Amino acid sequence: MINIINLVVYRKNNEQISSFQDKIKQYFPPVKKYTLYTDQTRDSLAYQQMKEDISDKNTIVLMDSINDLSFDSITQIHEIDWFLNQSISCIFFTYTTMLEHPENNQEHLRLLKDYVISSYQKKKVLPFNQVIRKKRIDYPEKWEDLFEKWENKEITARYFMKECGLKRGTFYHMIADYKEQTGSMKRIVTIT
C-alpha cells in the first residue's frame, strides 16, 4: 500500500459524488477527507487550477475516466505525460487495476499512454497546441451581489443573466471564471 498524503478528486460536474465516496472508502480506507475540484463547463478551469495546486508527489488524483482529461487523444497523451513527469498518481475509476494497485500507478499510466498512442497511430498526429483563451469580460457592477443570491438559489440564472445583460454562453463562462478566481470550484470534502 502506498502512503497517501493528499487525495484529490476531479469531476466534470457535481453529480454522483457519493459514488466516489463509496469507492474511496473501499480502496483508500484510511482517507477521511479529500479535495474536490469540479468543472461546470468545458473550459476545464478547475482542472487547470488542480494541476497548479498539486505540489506533493504523494498526491493521488482520482477521476472517472480518461475522458475527464479530454476527449482528444493527443491532449490525453499530453496530460498523462504531465502526471508522469510530475510523478503524481492519477487513477481512473474505469480501470479497476489502477484502484487495486495504486502503488504501480506510474507503470499503469505509461501503459495507458501507449494504448492511446497505438489506438490513434494511423491518424495524422498534429503537434499539441495550447488553447488560447478569449479576453476576459469585466464583471458588471452588481455581479457579486447577484452571484451570491444565485448561489443561494434566491434568484434564477435567467434573472441573473437579464440583470447583467449577458447571453447564456457568456454568463456561464463568466460564472466558471469567477468561481476559479474565488476558489469556489475547489472544496474539502469529509467522508462520512
Please compute the mean of the pLDDT values over residues 50-74 and round it to a whole number. 86
Return the percentage of the chain with pLDDT > 90, whole number.
Answer: 17
Mapped to the 3 state alphabet, what secondary structure does 79-138 carry?
HHHHHHHHCCEEEECCCHHHHHCHHHHHHHHHHHHHHHHHHCCCCCCCCCCCCCCCCCCC
Does residue 61 register a pLDDT over 80? yes
| Torsion (CA) 140, 144, 146, 152 in degrees, nearest 10 | 160
Does residue 55 register a pLDDT over 90? no
Does residue 134 register a pLDDT over 70? no
Return the percentage of the chain with pLDDT > 70, whole number.
Answer: 79
The reported pLDDT for the residue numbered 123 is 61
Whether residue 99 contacts residue 93, with contact meaning beta carbons closer than 8 Å, is answered with yes
Of the two residues 123 and 39, the one the predictor is more confident about is 39
The reported pLDDT for the residue numbered 127 is 57
Q: Name the residue among 141, 89, 128 with its Cα closest to residue 112.
A: 89
What is the value of pTM for the model shown? 0.65
pLDDT one-digit tens code per residue, 140-172: 888 889 998 998 889 999 999 999 998 988 888
CA dist 38 and 13 (Å) reads 5
Please compute the mean of the pLDDT values over residues 69-77 and round it to a whole number. 86
